[in-house]
């Protein structure tokens, strides 16, 4: 199946690759449960535990304030907690957000025993509350790739290189983002809403004394979360007094505006690319409509596509993509409008990274065989952000896919984080000011 060129390329999206039919959870990886007889909200295949139901009204306080926490199973030599905390949408509306934090036991080497922090921003899970990664019984684990015969999950819980991060002495905190786990429409790819959730997860982790989480932090994101990470490097005021030493994006969703404007050359494709791309676009439509009430769905989707938006609001992304792949032979032509209206394009551009100078170093890692985030879109983002003359490191991995890039690039991002925390000058692959930017030669994937 060839991807429609009306979108320019594989839609630079944000999460989880090809479409699989996934079944329920194994006994080892069932969602977090409530005590017998405890009421819970049912959402999709999961009963959402009462932990995820915030007080109503929300407690008074500052964004980043911890509402509640509960200890969960942790890797040996560490402790972990599921967390619920205050945050804000991009327009300043207070919301509750869930996630989890993992910390080595004992104090760190920093002042007052502080530890450096890695904030993990996950890739696309979908629009339903039940898609939150922290819902699994043991979220404090290495990234679980559901593209594996041993996986019984419908999402990617965990954190890549978690064991190495803990061995290095880092506190690791992972947001679910607003609207996943907790109530509300997930403002997917609304960048301030997403990144506020990331910043505030670190502040919430600091309020668990046993974490010893300090102010020095780095961000690591994949796909949807990769876009959030590089956006954080441009917009640090909200996170003060946190000190962002660097932001690393794995196949980041950082070029939405030009892609919807059909200004990106096509990239790699496979048999499920169209269905998955449309599933991601439907999530974008839902997310932006939640943030910008003036936007009308009819500008982006057909009447049949408006029916599909119901699925985008409630289903995890691979479920939605499977439904589309099974029922809609030409999803772009059937579900999506042929052009992006000006009011929608304006909001998409406002939520696209690379138009503002970064104030923290950036590392971007992209696979050349990625059928989810178009490598050409990532290169276009790099060309744009390099124009500001700040340090941006761009690494292409030969034949790496969207699913393999977190593992393929782990050595690079772990070394890069260590250097940033140590105060080493950040490297850059950007050409000198005024020179044309070109993609680097691909690195052989491990």
Residues of the chain with pLDDT under 70: 1-46, 154
The pair phi, psi for residue 364, each rounded to 5°, is -125, 130
pLDDT for 165 equals 98
Cα radius of gyration rounded to whole Å, the chain: 20
- pLDDT score for 8: 36
Q: What is the pLDDT of residues 143-192, one digit of tens each?
A: 987 777 777 776 788 999 999 999 999 999 999 999 999 999 999 999 99
Q: What pLDDT does 111 receive?
A: 86
The DSSP bridge pattern shows strands 94-104 and 46-48 to be unpaired
Beta strands in 19-114 (DSSP E): 41-43, 46-48, 66-72, 78-88, 94-104
Asked if omega into 184 is within 30° of 0 (cis), the reply is: no
Domain limits, the chain: 27-256+351-444
Write down the pLDDT at residue 23. 28
Superfamily designation of domain 27-256+351-444? Alpha/Beta hydrolase fold, catalytic domain (3.40.50.1820)
């Amino acid at each position: 199946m060839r991807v429609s060129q009306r979108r320019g390329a594989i839609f630079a999206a944000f999460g989880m690759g090809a479409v699989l039919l996934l079944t329920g959870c194994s006994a080892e990886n069932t969602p977090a449960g409530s005590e017998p007889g405890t009421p819970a909200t049912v959402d999709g295949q999961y009963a959402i535990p009462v932990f995820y139901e915030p007080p109503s009204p929300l407690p008074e306080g500052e964004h980043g304030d911890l509402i509640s926490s509960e200890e969960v199973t942790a890797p040996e030599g560490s402790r972990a907690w599921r967390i619920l905390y205050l945050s804000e949408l991009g327009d300043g509306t207070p919301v509750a957000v869930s996630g989890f934090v993992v910390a080595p036991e004992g104090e760190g080497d920093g002042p007052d025993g502080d530890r450096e922090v890695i904030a993990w921003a996950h890739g696309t899970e979908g629009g339903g509350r039940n898609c939150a990664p922290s819902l699994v019984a043991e979220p404090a684990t290495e990234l679980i790739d559901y593209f594996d015969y041993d996986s019984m999950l419908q999402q990617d819980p965990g954190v890549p290189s978690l064991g190495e991060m803990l061995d290095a002495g880092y506190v690791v905190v992972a947001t679910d983002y607003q609207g996943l786990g907790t109530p509300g429409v997930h403002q997917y790819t609304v960048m301030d809403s997403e990144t506020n959730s990331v910043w505030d997860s670190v502040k919430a982790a600091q309020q668990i004394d046993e974490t010893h989480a300090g102010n020095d932090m780095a961000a690591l994101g994949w796909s949807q979360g990769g876009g959030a990470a590089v956006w954080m490097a441009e917009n640090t005021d909200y996170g003060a007094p946190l000190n962002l030493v660097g932001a690393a994006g794995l196949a980041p969703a950082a070029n939405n505006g030009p892609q919807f404007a059909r200004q990106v050359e096509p990239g790699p494709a496979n048999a499920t690319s169209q269905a998955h791309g449309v599933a991601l676009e439907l999530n974008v439509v839902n997310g932006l409509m939640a943030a910008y009430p003036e936007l009308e769905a009819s500008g982006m989707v057909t009447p049949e596509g408006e029916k599909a938006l119901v699925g985008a609001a409630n289903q995890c992304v691979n479920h939605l993509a499977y439904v589309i792949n099974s029922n809609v032979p030409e999803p772009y032509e059937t579900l999506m409008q042929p052009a992006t209206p000006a009011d929608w394009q304006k909001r998409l551009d406002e939520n696209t990274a690379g138009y503002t100078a970064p104030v923290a170093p950036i590392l971007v890692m992209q696979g050349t065989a990625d059928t989810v985030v178009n490598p050409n879109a990532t290169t276009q983002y790099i060309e744009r952000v390099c124009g500001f003359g700040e340090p941006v490191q761009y690494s292409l991995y030969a034949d790496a896919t969207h699913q393999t890039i977190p593992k393929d690039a782990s050595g690079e991002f772990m070394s890069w984080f260590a250097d940033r925390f140590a105060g080493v000058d950040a490297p850059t692959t950007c050409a000198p000011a005024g020179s044309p930017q070109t993609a680097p030669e691909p690195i052989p994937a491990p």
